[in-house]
Amino acid sequence: MTTPLVGVTADFKEVDERPFHVVGDKYLRAVSDCTDATPFIVPAMGHHLDIPELVRHMDGLVLTGSPANVHPTHYGHEPHERYEPYDEARDATTLPLIREALAQKLPIFAICRGFQELNVVFGGSLHPRLHELEDKLDHRRPQDPDPDVQYGPVHPVSLAPGGLLAEILGRDETMVNSLHNQGIDRLAPGLAVEATAPDGIIEAVRIEGAESFALGVQWHPEYKAPANPDSVKLYDAFNAAVLARKRRKIAA
């Protein structure tokens, strides 16, 4: 069997006033180190991509995190400078990419912004600044230059009894890192809650009725994934679905 291919979504940003398509190394390395697949970068080129054809070549899809927020017009809210930065090139790529991946029953692992994109695609909404809500934790990145502190575990999540995540991790609670401003406001129909933070914020979802791995998490399992037992279990489950997808394509 040839090596499976996993698409990894990119941001579009300017670096020194020049345009770049950017993916954090940790997302690519987690796929490379923790699965049997080869990762490849999906550029944020929107309508310039033949998305159905691109998805046909994939055996899995990782929707990455990002400093940019999903543009509020995609979930019926008004944009505001306080909710920036946005990445409309990424929105124009990932939102149709998710829809096509669902149509082709591709294994999907959605992380942080990708988790939020999943909720938007299914018709849910986001709150752009969770830390401004009175009864919510501050889920933003710790202000420390050390990445091990930034990506260190900061709060527990309760896993839904009998859910996919509880089955994968083999427990009913775990500790996660937290580096997000946005979060789910209205949960979309078609998504089931898999984990919640102590303040009630939804931290993981699955696509109801999905025929393959289709899970989104608000935290960052990709950071030093091989050293984190929970991350290894998550990528193992994703890998099993990717390999199954590859076998079905070969047999077809």
Catalytic residue among 117, 194, 203, 222: 222
Report how far residue 39's alpha carbon sits from residue 141's, in angstroms, rounded to the nearest whole number.
26
In the numeric block, the tokens 């591709």 are attached to 106
The length of the chain in residues reads: 252
Please indicate whether residue 34 is annotated as part of the active site: no
Given the residues 71, 139, 180, 220, select the one marked as catalytic.
220
71, 112, 180, 194: the catalytic one is 112
- In SS3 terms, 192-244 reads as EEEEECCCCCEEEEEECCCCCCEEEECCCCCCCHHHCHHHHHHHHHHHHHHHH
Residue 171 identity = R
The residue type of 138 is D
For 88, half-sphere exposure in the C-beta direction (CA atoms, 13 angstrom radius) is 5
d(CA 137, CA 44): 32
Burial per residue of 207-228, b for 16 or more beta-carbon CB atoms within 10 angstroms, e otherwise = beebebbbbbbbbbbbbbbeeb
User: For residue 197, which of 159, 157, 161 has the smallest C-alpha distance?
Assistant: 157
| Radius of gyration from C-alpha coordinates of the chain | 17
Q: Which amino acids are annotated catalytic?
A: 112, 220, 222
